[in-house]
Amino acid sequence: MNIPKPYVPMLLSAVRDAVLYNQNLLHSETLREREDYEEYLVHLTQFFEYLKDEYKSNEAEYGLKLEQLLPE
């Protein structure tokens, strides 16, 4: 898959937002089938870590350091 450079920071931000959303969703008392969400969150978190590693190894191409894009 070839992702255009301008979309890469947006992809990272979107996946980070999805991780945060799903982490918060697990705290919901109305959540059904919690195991499915937990498994999804594990895969999503692994994907996010993969994207961060890939971004970091090509950081110069994107014009923003990972720390600038995803402040703690």
Separation between Cα atoms, residue 51 and residue 45, nearest integer Å: 10
Please report how many Cα atoms fall inside a 13 Å half-sphere around the Cα of residue 14, on the Cβ side: 5
Of the pLDDT bands very low, low, confident and very high (cuts 50, 70, 90), residue 10 is very high
Write the pLDDT tens digit of every residue in 13-71.
999 999 999 999 988 888 888 888 899 999 999 999 999 999 999 998 888 899 998 88
Every domain of the chain and the residues it spans: 5-67
Separation between Cα atoms, residue 16 and residue 49, nearest integer Å: 10
Do 50 and 16 touch, CB atoms closer than 8 A?
no
